Structure 1
Amino acid sequence: MIQQITKYFADNDVFNDTLNAIGTKTTSYLPVIFQWIGVGLGISIVLWAIISFFRYKWATEEKKPAVIKSIKHSLVAILAIFVIASLAGLIIGGSINVGKSIGDSIKIKPS
């Protein structure tokens, strides 16, 4: 299917580059994608910390325990997202290197 679409848009470099990125060269774009995901997570965590600080500061005394509980729950969710993102980065980024090193150590060339 990609070959048929490429025939129709053979002159269009942007289209061909997009097809190559999606079809064959996706792994070279993964580090950039994960880098921007990390930047977005970092910015969102800073904003979350600022909002949480002011939520606690402006809460009335009877609502402060509920605010603390809410902040703890969102902190656990953020940590879970970081764990999942870290594991995904290790699996995707490390699987290529680990596969090559294992293949080299047992004298099998990866295809």
Structure 2
Amino acid sequence: MKNAKWWIFVVISLFVAVKLGIGVVRLWKTGGLVDEAKKEVSDLKKENSSLQEKLVYVNSPEFVEKEARDKLGYGREGEVILVLSDQNANLKSQISNPKTEVPNWKRWWDLYIRI
């Protein structure tokens, strides 16, 4: 009888020890997850604050005016805005890159031999 009680006590003790061990391991892993989550929250707060600053700048009149001038070609009252066309650029590219390219040796031949 004493022997049976002792074995029951050992089995119950082992069961409790295993359960406690599993609980400790889960708690330890969860603690690591909490630390990672805290770090992620901190990073997101930093990103959020930088985005808030950018939002304030984007909503400012200076930014709106700059974008209107640069991208839309707007100006203030009394200003004269010059718009340069790309036609001159096309002409320059056609002049510098003729369609019929003459080989270099042919140019030399024409220069010295065909006088």
Higher helix share: 1
Using structure 1 for the length normalisation, give the TM-score. 0.35
Higher relative contact order (CA 8 A, sep 6+): 1
Structure whose CA Rg is larger: 2
